[in-house]
C-alpha cells in the first residue's frame, strides 16, 4: 500500500499498471489502495562503458561494458581503464558530442553526489586517462561498504536465512489484514 515508489525510467510502465489496477479496484470497491506515484532518480541512465550510446546492462555480453557491485577493485579499475572515450584528452560534458567522457562524468557525479558542474570543476586539468582512474576510485569507494556487506552475508548463511525468514514473517503479518479486507470488500468471505 505504498504511496510513492522509487523506480527507474524503464520501470515506469510497471508502476503505471499498478496505478491502473489500484484505480480500477478503488472505483469498483471504494477507496482502498493508494495510487502509487513514481519517485524518479535525478541520475539519468548510466551508459555502457564499451558503447556509451546504449544503457549499461548486466546482460551485456561484453564483460568490460558493465560495472557490478560485486566486482573487485582490480576489475573496476580494468573496466574504467578500457572504457570507450574519444581522442580529446580534456574532461568535458557533452553527451551528444562526447558520449564516452560524458558517461564517465555522469557516473562520477552519481557515485559522489556532486553535480556535473562540480565534477567538471574538480577534474579540470586532468586528461581522460587519469580521469578514468579518478572515476574508478570513486566507484570503488562507493561500492566497498556494499561489497563488504554482501561478503559478510555470504559467509554467514545461517544469519542470511534468519533475515529472510524474519522478513517473510513480517511480510505475512503486514499482508494478512490487507488480504482479509480485500476478501471482505470483494465478497469472498
Average per-residue pLDDT for the chain: 94
* 100 shares its domain with 165: no
- Summarised one tens digit per residue, pLDDT across range 30-68 is 999 999 999 987 666 899 999 999 999 989 999 999 999
pLDDT digits (tens, 9 = 90+) for 10-28: 889 999 999 999 999 999 9
Asked whether residue 100 is domain-assigned, the answer is: yes
Cα 103 to Cα 109: distance, rounded to the nearest angstrom: 10
Tell me: do 121 and 91 sit in the same domain: yes
Does residue 189 contact residue 181 with C-beta atoms inside 8 Å?
no
- Sequence length of the chain is 189
Q: What is the pLDDT of residues 56-109, one digit of tens each?
A: 998 999 999 999 999 999 999 999 999 999 999 999 999 999 999 999 999 999
Q: Answer yes or no: is 135 within a domain.
A: yes
Helix locations, 30-127, DSSP H:
73-81, 99-112, 116-122
54 lies in the same domain as 22? no
Residue 90 and residue 138 in one domain: yes
Q: How far is CA 181 from CA 21, 103, 129, in A?
A: 17, 48, 60
**135 and 65 together in one domain:** yes
Instruction: Tell me the C-alpha distance between 175 and 178, whole Å.
Output: 5
Amino acid at each position: 500500500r505504498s504511496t510513492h515508489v522509487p523506480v527507474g525510467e524503464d520501470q515506469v510502465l510497471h508502476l503505471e499498471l499498478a496505478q491502473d489496477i489500484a484505480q480500477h479496484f478503488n472505483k469498483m470497491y471504494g477507496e482502498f489502495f493508494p495510487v502509487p506515484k513514481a519517485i524518479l532518480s535525478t541520475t539519468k541512465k548510466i551508459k555502457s562503458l564499451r558503447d556509451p550510446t546504449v544503457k549499461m546492462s548486466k546482460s551485456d555480453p561484453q564483460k568490460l561494458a558493465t560495472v557490478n557491485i560485486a566486482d573487485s577493485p582490480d576489475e573496476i579499475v580494468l573496466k574504467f581503464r578500457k572504457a570507450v572515450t574519444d581522442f580529446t584528452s580534456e574532461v568535458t560534458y557533452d553527451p551528444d558530442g562526447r558520449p564516452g567522457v560524458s558517461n564517465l562524468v555522469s557516473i562520477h557525479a552519481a557515485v559522489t553526489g556532486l553535480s556535473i558542474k562540480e565534477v567538471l570543476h574538480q577534474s579540470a586539468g586532468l586528461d581522460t586517462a587519469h580521469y578514468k582512474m579518478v572515476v574508478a576510485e570513486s566507484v570503488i569507494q562507493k561500492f566497498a561498504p556494499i561489497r563488504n556487506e554482501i561478503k559478510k552475508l555470504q559467509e554467514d548463511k545461517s544469519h542470511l536465512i534468519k533475515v529472510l525468514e524474519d522478513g517473510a514473517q513480517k511480510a505475512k503479518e503486514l499482508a494478512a489484514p490487507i488480504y482479509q479486507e480485500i476478501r471482505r470488500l470483494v465478497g469472498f468471505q
